[in-house]
Amino acid sequence: MKRISLSIAILTLIFLFYANPVISQSLIIKVGDKSFTATLYDNSSTLALKNMLPLDMNMSELNNNEKYYYLPISLPVSSSMISVIREGDIMLYQSNYLVLFYKTFNNTSYRYTKLGYVDNPEGLAAALGNGNVDVSFSLNVGSEIEDIKIEKNETKYLIRDSHIYVEADNSTFYIIDTRGRLIKESSTSIMNISDIESGFYILLIEVEGKRNMYKIFI
């Protein structure tokens, strides 16, 4: 009976996966004693980026309008020529360069993948200064991925260092591919996902008969 119920849930989730847009996520950017909130777009690059957070970076100065950081892994890319880059834009250059712009200017040379934007960039340029600077990116409190959710009670989870951690006792969770195939399951709070091929998956978490489902990028 449990397997039948799970199969129905998976079919429901596959429909929601393709029918529902992803909710934009909130990001906290800290520069010294200054904090800025930012909104992330819905794309595969931001899903991959969120799996890397929090990030503590020493960002390098470039062109008197941006700070950049070379990421240790490549992110998915969907680049385009963006004619006007605005103060507070967060973008990906090539597949490894995380860029935070602090001035508005016309762009005629480079292609970027849009990641997000600082909600209110007032004071951003002053905080970043003229040289290299330490910057941290972290998800805002309560902003875990919740784009596909069929229960009101959210279960928190974290993807870090090739593992998934679930913050719930007596939980069972499943990794399901976008074709509905069960890839892996765990009845503990930790799952090793180092053997799972990189890509989009569905995370289904079951706690005391209630299910929460999320779209993730591994």
**pLDDT at position 102, please?**
97
pLDDT in tens, 102-112: 999 998 889 99
For residue 130, the SS3 value is coil
* CATH architecture of the domain with range 26-138: Beta Barrel (2.40)
pLDDT band at 14 (very low <50, low <70, confident <90, very high): low
Residue 71: phi and psi, rounded to 5, are -70, 145
Residue whose C-alpha is closest to residue 198's, from 182, 172, 216, 179: 216
Kindly state the average pLDDT of the residues 82-92.
Answer: 95
Of 6-20, 70-84, 131-145, minimum mean pLDDT range: 6-20
pLDDT at 144 exceeding the cut of 60: no
pLDDT at 15 over 70: no
pLDDT in tens, 50-75: 878 888 999 999 999 999 999 988 89
Strand partners, 105: 85
pLDDT digits (tens, 9 = 90+) for 167-210: 777 788 888 877 677 889 888 888 899 998 877 788 888 887 77
Instruction: State residue 168's pLDDT score.
Output: 75
| Domain range list for the chain | 2-21+145-217, 26-138
CATH number of the domain located at residue range(s) 2-21+145-217 in this protein:
2.60.40
Topology alike, domains 2-21+145-217 and 26-138 = no
pTM above 0.75, yes or no: no
How far is residue 83's CA from residue 67's CA, in Å, rounded to a whole number? 19
pLDDT exceeds 80 at position 22:
no
